[in-house]
């Protein structure tokens, strides 16, 4: 019998390539057909290994979920960026590689990020998702998030609605 270790830990600079690949795969599968193709390519290409290496070295908070020797997903988070919303923390991104979705790993990453934010005094929390990203919307609702704000974002010629889910501290 073999056991596979599953852990959530802070990303190291050596994880940059694996996080970039995870970002690439997850964004392609989540946003194809939602974000126009050329824009999606730009957004993905901007976030290569160098971008992640620099973010991790600068101390941005990035956690990875490791399954055996593979990075299955990541979350990055910190202070809430939208001043008009009175929440302390924000999960900026939370993504799993397609083959690791639907196994409870998203919940694990979310719980770890929330705990980490809480430990640094950021108790309440907000997350934005594109309204068309149904699995993300269902995921955040399932985790008890309350829809508290709506906004929109332009991707090339397309304007997409987004919704903020929040959790009180």
- Applying CB under 6 A, the residues found at the interface with ligand COA are 26, 30, 94-96, 101-107, 129, 133, 135-136, 138-139, 142
Query: Shortest Cβ distance from residue 95 to ligand COA (Å)?
Result: 4
Nearer to ligand COA, 13 or 70 (CB): 70
Q: What SS3 state is found at 88?
A: coil
Nearer to ligand COA, 57 or 115 (CB): 115
Distance CA 92, CA 52 (A): 14
Q: How many residues does the chain have?
A: 169
Q: State the residue number with the nearest CB to ligand COA.
A: 106
Nearer to ligand COA, 1 or 5 (CB): 5
User: Which of 163, 65, 58 lies closest to 111, judged by CA?
Assistant: 65
Nearer to ligand COA, 100 or 124 (CB): 100
The radius of gyration computed from the CA coordinates of the chain, to the nearest angstrom, equals: 16
Query: Shortest Cβ distance from residue 104 to ligand COA (Å)?
Result: 4
Distance CA 159, CA 138 (A): 21
């Amino acid at each position: 019998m073999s056991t596979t270790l599953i852990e959530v830990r802070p990303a190291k600079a050596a994880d940059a390539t694996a996080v970039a690949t995870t970002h690439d795969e997850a964004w392609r599968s989540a946003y194809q057909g939602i974000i126009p193709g050329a824009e999606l390519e730009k957004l993905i290409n901007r976030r290569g290994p160098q971008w992640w290496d620099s973010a991790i070295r600068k101390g941005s908070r990035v956690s990875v979920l490791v399954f055996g020797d593979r990075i299955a997903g990541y979350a990055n988070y910190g202070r809430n960026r939208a001043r008009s919303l009175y929440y302390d923390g924000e999960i900026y991104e939370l993504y799993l590689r397609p083959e690791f979705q639907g196994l409870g790993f998203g919940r694990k990453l979310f719980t770890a990020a929330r705990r980490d934010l809480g430990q640094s005094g950021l108790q309440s929390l907000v997350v934005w998702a594109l309204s068309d990203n149904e699995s993300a919307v269902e995921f955040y609702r399932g985790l008890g998030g309350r829809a508290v704000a709506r906004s929109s974002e332009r991707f090339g010629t397309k304007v997409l609605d987004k919704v903020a889910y929040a959790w009180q501290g």
